[in-house]
Chains A and B, each alone.
Chain A
Amino acid sequence: MTPRPPFRTSVSNVLIIGTGGAGLRAAIAAHEAGTEAVVIGKRARKDAHTVLAAGGINAVLGTRDPEDSWEQHFIDTWRDGYYLGNPRVIELLVREAPSVIGELEQWGCDFARTPDGRLDQRFFGAHKYRRTCYAGDYTGRAMINALDARVTELDIPIVENQHVSRLLVEDGSCFGAFAFNLSSGERTVYIADAVVLATGGHTRIWRKSSSRRDENNGDGMYLALQAGCRLADMELVQFHPTGMVAPEEMAGTLVTEAVRGEGGRLFNASRERYMTRYDAERMELSTRDRVALANYTEITQGRGGPHGGVFLDVSHIGKEQILKKLPRMYRQFIEYQMLDISRHPMEVAPTAHYSMGGVVVDPETHATDVAGLFAAGETTSGLHGANRLGGNSLTETLVFGRRAGAAAAARAQSIDVQVRSRSRIEEANAELDSFIKEGTEFVRPLQRALRDNMWEHCGVVRSEQGLKQGLQKIEELKDLLPQVDVRPTSEGYDDLGHALNLRGSLFSAQASLLGAVERRETRGAHNRSDYPQLDEKLTVNLVSRLTRDGEFEISAEPVAPAPEHLSHWAKDDAHLEAKGRLLE
């Protein structure tokens, strides 16, 4: 019998890492441009985290509000991101949003319709007009279904169960990735002319998180760092105002903003509708950072409920409306709490929800600092600034997935020769070997310690002292990493995946903590108890990179300027009208 090779080799033009919205859209773009695309992902096909996105996807179609314009969408996004977003990224997003929705509709996405048959649009927090398309409260799943149907039709291969341990870089150019199969352990070198990283964010490293277990653990950001990319805005993490508080293993699971979009009201334990004290105009539909801080304040000042949450009540809109507009939320509470939300309020608390920072990319092509490496979706930075508007991220996955996929294909078609390096491949293979050993530490307790640490020291409200303690703890955990026990047996290679995830989590956690220390101000989602005011001088992006010896280096970079006319408009239009914005 031939001995089993140490690893297999797979060759394609464009390798896409991640099977969510951004990854699938990139694959379609690369295929349509005429290149061979291969998509690899950790999980089963159609089980990417995008399926959990509930509320909707934004595009100015003017279906409901004809006076809406891309300029207004730009302004809402830029201003409510506290001017930290890259204006060019935002402009591309808002201008191309209608066409990516149109495509999705062409591929059969079952969006909700208006009575005259057009794509319906609803309000989302802090948008001036109705511009959020939706499919009930399972928009992400509807999107993935449509994208997957297109991928099936084009016969683009999706390889499941693939965990990437390293991006392969030689001479400043990325030529593929090293991966192993989570069930069989079989290793594969994926060689490609260009790689698209679509690996999501890092919010699972907080104790309360809207992310599923073992996802969004920052490993994609680590892969990019290690390959030589810069990360920006890592301290800017969106805490969604409303996550479930019970049962324990479900704590943090999202209660979609659509609940408030459909008229849900927030109360504290004494039935006070407290948003009047935080944002009397926009109330529950204020920006997420404000509502999250309001909920956090009510809870920490002792006005919360029995499980340490506040109350979100949607019972006044009636059971029929709830079943039609919020079917998944209705089911979620019935299934996990035996609670009928058409009769009783839900208890909710803030939960880590979205990484607004991430890999630094070129606005047009989403190319990273490393030649041949592109990135798209939550794993990137540049769009959301210090506060993300609901519904913008699904649009982001499609607009920039498409751009990254096309740019990756263009690179594949333009290069004469692609550098490969056997020694880089051998290094990656040896690195995996080095993780597999008996050790004195187990991954789960270390993960738990990390998540507690981030929640306590880098949560909704932060301070210099806490952040420093948080960094100290990260160092301690990093020291334990080499002693982690990884023993793959016939049950699979999950252990190895967890250990690599932990490594990624520790690095992305450190980047967040370091950024949070440097951002000595309060802006958007970043609240500093010791610096409660916004500091104009900090209208910068905090950028981190790894030095040769693996240490972080952090610096402030100026935010790109916005076109003159938009910048004026944004400042003139600072006072939003709240009238008619609730869907009651």
Chain B
Amino acid sequence: MKVHLRLLRFNPETDGEPHFEEYTVEADPMDRLLDCLHQVKWRHDSSLALRRSCAHGICGSDTMLINGVNALACKVLVKDMKQPVTVEPMRGLPVIKDFIVDMEPFFAGYRAVKPWLIPDPDAHEPARERIQTPDERERFDDTTKCILCAACTTSCPIFWSDTEYVGPAAIVNAHRFIFDSRDYGSRERLQILSGKGGVFKCRTAFNCTAACPRGIKVTKAIQEVKRAALYDTF
């Protein structure tokens, strides 16, 4: 079948403003948008700039605004897209070229919440593994699924307008450690997240939950972190 694409192009060397360009490619209904973009790049205009890597929805590098909704280009099927398909770069991050945005503000938020396991400072190195029951393991299972694709953060209206807000993905990754029974850094993280750029910026727009390609209940995770910060329960 034919697929009509409207791509928001921007080349900093020649363009003052981004503009739409239209392309038509041939694709199978079971193909993915990424296949269509590859066709544009390989057969029509090799200057089209996009990030992609695994093409399996694991690496999280090809997030785009597809028909107004953030999604991974490698996961959206041609048959599920309304035509013409409008593709724009993620919002809220500076565009470098076409669909490539500067991810640094996103990763700065991620690093700010100390996304690594902070062990009990008083504990001796255990001889074996630390004990963690399947229920304790289950507590943070949902948020381990994050692939840092930024679909949630760049669909968040607060993140668009407030450069201080760490954004949903950073909170999801904080949640992953705050609710891990082996972690002792929760108080530190909650202090960071109670600050100006933290969880209380969230106005529960739910855009993040809708955007997550991994099906993580992002807003729920944020609410759990808010509650932990307020009532000291984690």
The answer on a CB contact under 8 Å between B59 and A46 is yes
Binding-face segment, A103-111, A166-174, A297-305: A103-111
Verify B183–A491 contact, CB threshold 8 A. Answer: no
Interface bits B158-177 vs A (CB < 8 Å: 1, else 0) = 00000000000000000001
User: Smallest distance from the beta carbon of B189 to chain A beta carbons, Å?
Assistant: 13
Shortest CB-to-CB span from A431 to chain B, Å, is 24
B24 within 8 A of A: no
**Chain A residues positioned under 8 Å from B115 (CB to CB):** 149, 152
CB-defined contacts of A112 to chain B, threshold 8 Å: 134, 137
Selected interface stretch from A77-85, A115-123, A273-281, A421-429: A115-123
Closest A residue to B182 by beta carbon equals A108
* Known A-B contacts A46-B59, A213-B55; A152 and B111 likewise in contact (beta carbons under 8 Å): yes
| In-complex Cβ contact of B47 among A44, A51, A61, A490 (8 A) | A490
Q: Which of B15-23, B124-132, B203-211, B222-230 sits within the interface?
A: B124-132
Interface size class of B (residues with CB under 8 A): 35 or more
Q: What sequence of 0s and 1s flags, for each residue 110-125 of chain B, a beta carbon within 8 Å of any chain A beta carbon?
A: 0100111101000001
Report Cα–Cα, A116/B116, bound state, in Å.
25
Whether the Cβ atoms of B58 and A145 lie closer than 8 Å is: no
Give Cα A108–Cα B51 distance, bound, in whole angstroms.
29
Contact status A119-B58, CB under 8 Å: no
Contact status B59-A44, CB under 8 Å: yes
A102/B129 in contact, CB under 8 A: yes
A145 to B177, CA, bound (A): 12
- Would you call A107 and B131 a contact (CB within 8 A)? no
Q: Whole-angstrom distance between the alpha carbons of A70 and B13 in the complex?
A: 61
> A153-167 vs B: 1/0 string, CB under 8 Å?
100000000000000
Return the CB mask of B44-68 against A: 1 if under 8 Å, else 0: 0011110101111011010000000
Query: Closest chain A residue to B114 by CB distance?
Result: A153
Inter-subunit contact B131/A108 (CB<8 Å): no
Q: Are B59 and A153 in contact (CB under 8 A)?
A: no
How many residue pairs between the two chains, A and B, have CB atoms under 8 Å in the bound complex? Answer: 97
Name the A residues within 8 Å of B140 (CB-CB). 110
**Once the chains bind, are A47 and B53 in contact (CB under 8 Å)?**
yes
**In the bound complex, do residue B116 and residue A150 qualify as a contact, i.e. CB atoms below 8 Å apart?**
yes
Which A residues, 32 to 46, have Cβ-Cβ distances below 8 Å to chain B?
43-44, 46
The one of B53, B130, B144 in contact with A145, judged by C-beta atoms closer than 8 angstroms, is B144
A46 to B115, CA, bound (A): 14
Q: In chain B, what residue has the closest Cβ to A48?
A: B59
Cβ of B187 < 8 Å from any Cβ of A? no
Bound CA–CA A573/B133 (angstroms)? 36
Determine if B180 is an interface residue (Cβ-Cβ < 8 Å). yes
Known contacts: A44-B59, A44-B61, A247-B30. The answer to whether A152 contacts B116 by CB under 8 A is yes
Interface class of chain B by DSSP? loop
Contacts of A142 in B (CB 8 A): 144
List, in ascending order, chain A residues with CB within 8 A of B147's CB.
Answer: 46
On whether the beta carbons of B49 and A491 are closer than 8 Å, the reply is yes
* A472 at the binding interface (Cβ < 8 Å): no
- Is A141 in contact with chain B by the CB < 8 A criterion? yes
Are A44 and B48 also in contact (CB < 8 A) when A116-B131, A118-B131 are? Answer: no
B107 to chain A, nearest CB (A): 9
Q: Which residues of B contact A43 (CB under 8 A)?
A: 53, 59
Cβ of A547 within 8 Å of any chain B Cβ, yes or no, is no
Closest to B125 in A: A106
List the B side residues contacting A111 at CB < 8 Å.
129
Q: How far is the CA of A115 from the CA of B134 in the complex (A)?
A: 6
A214 and chain B: residue at smallest CB distance: B53
Q: Which residues of B contact A8 (CB under 8 A)?
A: none
The answer to whether the Cβ of A448 comes within 8 Å of any Cβ in the partner chain is no
Give Cα distance in the complex from A110 to B148, angstroms.
17
Contact assessment for B133 and A117 in the assembled complex, using a CB-CB cutoff below 8 Å: yes
B54–A106 CB distance below 8 A = no
B102 proximal to A (CB < 8 A): no
Residues of B within 8 A of A489 (CB): 46-47
Q: Which chain A residue has the least Cβ–Cβ distance from B100?
A: A183
Q: Least Cβ distance of A152 to chain B in Å?
A: 6
Partner of A117, one of B48, B132, B177, B183: B132
List B contacts of A145 (CB < 8 A).
144
A437 within 8 A of partner (CB): no
Which one of B41, B75, B128 lies within 8 Å of A491 (CB-CB)? B41
The interface centre, meaning the residue of B51, B61, B144 with most chain A CB atoms within 10 A of its CB, is B144
Contact across chains for B59 and A105 when beta carbons are under 8 A apart: no
A113 proximal to B (CB < 8 A): yes
**CA A152 to CA B118, docked complex, whole Å:** 12
Contacts of B148 in A (CB 8 A): 46
A119 touches B129 (CB 8 A): yes
| B136 contacts A by Cβ under 8 Å | yes
- Counting CB contacts under 8 A, is A307 at the interface? no
Chain B hits for A52, CB < 8 A: 58
Of B55, B56, B117, the residue contacting A106 (CB under 8 A) is: B117
- B48:A491 contact, CB within 8 angstroms: yes
A selection of 24 A-B contacts at a CB cut-off of 8 Å is A44-B53, A44-B61, A51-B54, A51-B59, A101-B129, A107-B117, A108-B177, A108-B182, A110-B144, A110-B180, A113-B137, A117-B131, A117-B133, A141-B58, A149-B115, A149-B116, A150-B116, A152-B115, A490-B49, A491-B41, A491-B47, A491-B48, A491-B49, A492-B49
User: Assuming A149-B117, A212-B56, what are 15 further A-B pairs, CB within 8 angstroms?
Assistant: A52-B58, A61-B128, A106-B125, A108-B117, A110-B180, A113-B137, A117-B132, A117-B134, A119-B129, A152-B116, A153-B114, A153-B116, A212-B54, A247-B30, A489-B46
Query: Which residues of A does B touch, CB under 8 Å?
Result: 43-44, 46-47, 51-52, 61, 101-102, 105-108, 110-119, 141-142, 145-146, 149-150, 152-153, 183, 212-213, 247, 335, 489-492
Mark B residues whose CB is within 8 Å of A.
Answer: 11, 30, 41, 46-49, 51, 53-56, 58-59, 61, 75, 111, 114-117, 119, 125-126, 128-134, 136-137, 140-141, 144, 147-148, 177, 180, 182-183
Task: Report the 9 A-B pairs with minimum CB-CB distance, sorted nearest first.
Answer: A108-B117, A149-B116, A117-B131, A47-B59, A153-B116, A491-B46, A117-B133, A490-B47, A105-B129
